[in-house]
Amino acid sequence: MDTEILWRVALVQVVAVVVLSLLLGLLLPHSFFESLGWLVGPAAWLLCAWATARVVGLPTEPVLVRAVLAGIPSALFVLVGLHWLGAAVGVAVFAYLCALLPRPLASGSP
């Protein structure tokens, strides 16, 4: 496990989730999330994971698969009414799974 990748992924994913959540919360009414949160939440999570992969320099497809896997325990917390605890668990699981990926090669490497 690569602890540097773990912490970088965790930090970038948290920032991405917080920024996108604040932006969506400011732009959309609460009723939108009550009606479509089941769709918007996972889509936003995947968008943040995609951004995290790009910022950290990890391969997109394996990172998105890990985001889906990390979303499963997160969703369980959401179902029992603990949305933000679910997000925290999701970030932790996501960062751990991404830390198991091989370290990306530096640009310009042979």
Q: Tell me, yes or no, whether 105 lies in a domain.
A: no
Q: Which amino acid does the sequence have at 10? A: A
Q: Tell me, yes or no, whether 108 lies in a domain.
A: no
Number of domains in the chain: 1
Closest-CA residue to 9 (of 61, 67, 65): 67
Question: pTM score, two decimals?
Answer: 0.85
Residue-wise pLDDT for 15-66, tens only, equals 999 999 999 989 888 888 888 878 888 999 999 999 999 999 999 999 999 9
Q: Tell me, yes or no, whether 106 lies in a domain.
A: no
Do residues 103 and 75 make contact, with C-beta atoms less than 8 angstroms apart?
no
